[in-house]
Chain A
Amino acid sequence: MSRALPVGVVAIGATVSWWAGGLHRDQTAAHLSVLVAIALAVAAAVGFGIGRQAVTARAWVKGPFDLSRHLDEDPAQSLAAAIWAVLLMSVIAWDLNSFVHQSHDLPTLSSIFGHLTSTHAGRSVVFAAWLVLGATLALGWRRR
């Protein structure tokens, strides 16, 4: 029973991803599949997350700004976290720059993913990855 649930969830996710991968952006089913996934993620985040967040929103906002404490406690981790932040902000900044200029020489992340989602298999894989990311964001790292 304890193993059947995760196996069943993975099987359903894979089946739904393959089905959604065969849809076109203009189809109502494509819109519904995305909207249902979003609704389920929000419902799961709220339903399973009340009273189980690791830190308060205020502490979360203030956390990164306490640089001196982070550097004192663990300089290597602080530097690594800063590298992650710089890399991810670089991706966002370059995507925004490419979007603003609207040039064929400056592809956006959206156009890059568009190549991946132009085939049934590619769209299915990206949809599955999107579902996994959503489930992780909705349910991951809660307090027990």
Chain B
Amino acid sequence: MSAGAAVWLVLGATLLGWGIFSGLRRDLPGPLAPIRWFAQSWLGRALALCAWGGAGWHLFCQRP
């Protein structure tokens, strides 16, 4: 496994672990909290939708 892949593995596992932990605790912001934060205002929603649209275009129309 390459060094870069190992870093992704650690990041993914940390995100998964933290997502499960915070999702189970009612007093903590869970995995939906980052999305909810962006969807609070027009500016956040617009920025998130731009990133979402760009990611979709890249993944489904550009990626080899």
Contact = CB atoms under 8 A, between A and B. Distances in A.
A117 B63 contact: yes
Contacts of A87: 11, 14-15, 18
Given A55-B40, A80-B28, A81-B33, A94 B15 contact: no
A42 B49 CA distance: 8
Interface of B: 2-5, 7-8, 11, 14-15, 18, 22, 27-29, 33-36, 38-46, 48-49, 52-53, 55-64
The 10 closest A-B pairs by CB, nearest first: A106-B4, A57-B43, A60-B41, A105-B2, A80-B28, A38-B53, A141-B39, A54-B40, A140-B39, A57-B41
A83 B31 CA distance: 11
Contact of B4 (A56, A103, A117): A103
B27 A91 contact: no
A117 B59 contact: yes
12 contacts: A23-B60, A34-B57, A38-B56, A45-B49, A54-B40, A55-B41, A110-B63, A113-B63, A117-B60, A123-B60, A130-B60, A141-B39
Contacts of A31: 61
A64 B18 CA distance: 20
Given A20-B60, A25-B60, A106-B2, A137 B35 contact: yes
Contact of B59 (A23, A76, A104, A110): A110
Nearest to B44: A60
B2 A76 contact: no
A119 interface: no
A98 B4 contact: yes
Interface in A96-142: 98, 103-107, 110, 112-114, 117, 123, 126-127, 130, 133-134, 136-138, 140-142
Contact of A107 (B2, B29, B59, B64): B2
B15 to A, nearest CB: 6
